[in-house]
């Protein structure tokens, strides 16, 4: 989020004042993907009226439009409403009265807390930069790469210079941006570098812009990890944030791959007329195994018109070795009405890697169980699919963690 704040700081420069709050969701403005809304506020010195810090809070909205989690979007306009910068609150006056209590009052409390910290600890303490690259290893050069279902490559070369307390993370060799939605905004790459670097250090380090001070990141423009303004990015956030993390951990030989991707399931139906009355549709979105806890099972049946037939452990998928990976899961859902079903996912053709002789994990699979004039058929959906599923059909997702 530090790059989201930096984008707004550069865009607005010295024109903001006390009480201003901005909101943005565009990947070019260092968002991750459109459903992630970032609210940004300047922390202004009460005496000099200069901006000392920027605070940012980000929340994921399950649906920014009817197609916000489409597995086949190719341009960003297909993924919903986007905006580079919008003044949500202007000098303390909300531009959206009904959002003032939710999106202004809570973010507005954080600058106050930062100013209190400055008074208590001093500005230098708050601005501390962690030179944590010392904790990684001696001078070294590491490299690793991974590949997506469509053949796109993510490649890292990492050079650590302990004498200068610095490192270079070079993505040269990464594939060009794709005509699809797995493009990952630069903010994702920076976030994963911070996450992995901090995880390699035994002591706590501050989580702020200073984390990247000793690191130089080389990303050429218009690559898969630095897409252009109009590139679709909805899958880049949910899939590639974990994929990039796996590649970095592999480069340092720190850990074998975890799930590495985020299986997404969405289904919906549109508004319709029943006996002259408008019946509203609905949209549903969840991540499986690699995301958040799913809803209470009864809600799926009563609110979302589907039956959870099975959600259980899938044994022995982690790859054999001295330290085998974890078990997977199987999720079997039956739909009680006709629905549009989307399944953006990865690791369907490339397994999660093992290390030090350990075997890779099993491939995942998405299966459509349908009934037609040919009988009951089990159809492999692949990693990305949008299907019109009839009442009584099922989708089975075999996943691992």
Residue 201 confidence (pLDDT): 76
Task: Give me the DSSP letters along 118-152.
Answer: HHHH-HHHHT----GGGGT-SSEEEEEEEE-TTS-
Q: Where are the beta strands (DSSP E) in 130-262?
A: 140-147, 153-161, 166-170, 215-218
pLDDT digits (tens, 9 = 90+) for 59-87: 776 655 544 556 566 677 667 677 788 88
Task: Report the SS3 class of residue 41.
Answer: strand
Q: For strands 166-170 and 215-218, give the pairing.
A: parallel
Q: In whole angstroms, what is the distance from residue 26 CA to residue 40 CA?
A: 13
Inter-residue contact 198 to 132 (CB < 8 Å)? yes
Query: 379 vs 40, 229, 334, 382, CA distance in Å?
Result: 46, 36, 15, 9
Residue 106 confidence (pLDDT): 37
Give per-residue burial for 8-36: e unless 16+ CB within 10 Å, then b. bbeebeeebeebbbbbbbbbbbbbbbbbb
Q: CA 265 from chain center: how many Å?
A: 15
* Whether the model pTM is above 0.85: no
Closest to 3 in 3D by CA, of 38, 45, 34: 38
Residue 136: phi and psi, rounded to 5, are -80, -65
Instruction: Show me where the domains of the chain are located.
Output: 2-126, 132-251, 263-400
Task: Report the SS3 class of residue 262.
Answer: coil
Q: For strands 277-279 and 215-218, give the pairing.
A: unpaired
Element (H, E) at 193: helix 186-199
In the 8-state DSSP scheme, what is residue 298? H
Tokens 């919008």 sit on residue: 86
Closest to 24 in 3D by CA, of 52, 64, 67: 64
In the 8-state DSSP scheme, what is residue 246? H
Total length of the chain: 401
Residue 74 confidence (pLDDT): 66
Residue 69 confidence (pLDDT): 57
Q: In whole angstroms, what is the distance from residue 144 CA to residue 355 CA?
A: 12
Task: Give me the DSSP letters along 162-174.
Answer: GGGTEEEEE-TTP
- Residues in the chain, pLDDT under 50: 66-67, 98-110, 124-138, 291-292
Q: In whole angstroms, what is the distance from residue 179 CA to residue 154 CA?
A: 16
At CA 124, angle to CA 24 and CA 215, rounded to 5?
60
Tokens 């911070």 sit on residue: 194
Residue 45: beta bridge partners?
Answer: none
Q: In whole angstroms, what is the distance from residue 6 CA to residue 293 CA?
A: 33
Q: Longest Cα pair distance anywhere in the chain, in angstroms?
A: 77
Contacts of 363 (CB under 8 A, 6+ apart): 347, 348, 349, 351
In the 8-state DSSP scheme, what is residue 9? H
pLDDT digits (tens, 9 = 90+) for 105-118: 434 444 555 566 55
Task: Report the SS3 class of residue 104.
Answer: coil
Residue 97 confidence (pLDDT): 61
């Amino acid at each position: 989020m530090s790059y989201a704040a930096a984008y707004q700081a550069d865009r607005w420069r010295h024109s903001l004042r006390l009480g201003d709050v901005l909101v943005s969701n565009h990947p070019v403005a260092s968002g991750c993907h459109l459903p992630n809304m970032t609210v940004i506020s300047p922390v202004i010195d009460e005496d000099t009226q200069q901006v000392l810090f920027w605070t940012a809070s980000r929340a994921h909205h399950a649906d920014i439009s009817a197609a916000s989690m489409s597995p086949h979007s190719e341009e960003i306009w297909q993924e919903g409403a986007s905006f580079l910068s919008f003044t949500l609150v202007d000098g303390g006056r909300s531009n959206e009265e009904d959002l003032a209590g939710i999106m202004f009052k809570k973010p507005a409390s954080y600058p106050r807390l930062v100013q209190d910290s400055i008074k208590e600890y001093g500005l230098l303490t708050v601005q501390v930069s962690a030179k944590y690259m010392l904790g990684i290893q001696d001078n070294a050069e590491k490299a690793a790469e991974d590949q997506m279902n469509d053949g796109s490559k993510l490649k890292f070369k990492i050079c650590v210079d302990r004498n200068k307390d610095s490192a270079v993370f070079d993505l040269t060799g990464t594939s060009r941006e794709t005509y699809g939605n797995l493009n990952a905004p630069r903010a994702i790459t920076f976030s994963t570098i911070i996450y992995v670097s901090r995880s390699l250090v035994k002591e706590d380090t501050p989580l702020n812009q200073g984390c990247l001070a000793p690191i130089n990141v080389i990303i050429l423009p218009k690559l898969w990890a630095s897409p252009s303004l109009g590139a679709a990015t909805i899958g880049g956030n949910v899939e590639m944030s974990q994929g990039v993390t796996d590649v970095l951990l592999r480069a340092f030989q720190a850990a074998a791959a975890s799930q590495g991707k985020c299986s997404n399931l969405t289904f919906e139906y549109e508004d319709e007329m029943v006996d002259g009355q408008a019946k509203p549709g609905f949209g549903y979105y969840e991540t499986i195994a690699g995301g958040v806890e799913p809803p209470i099972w009864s809600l799926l049946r009563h609110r979302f018109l589907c039956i959870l037939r099975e959600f259980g452990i899938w044994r022995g998928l982690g790859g054999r070795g001295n330290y085998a990976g974890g078990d997977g899961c199987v999720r079997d859902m039956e739909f009680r009405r006709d629905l549009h079903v989307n399944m953006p996912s990865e690791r369907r053709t490339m397994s999660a890697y093992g290390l030090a002789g350990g075997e890779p994990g099993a491939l995942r699979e998405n299966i459509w169980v349908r009934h037609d004039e040919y009988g009951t058929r089990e159809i492999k959906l692949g990693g990305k699919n949008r299907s019109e599923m009839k009442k009584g059909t099922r989708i089975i997702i075999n996943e691992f963690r």
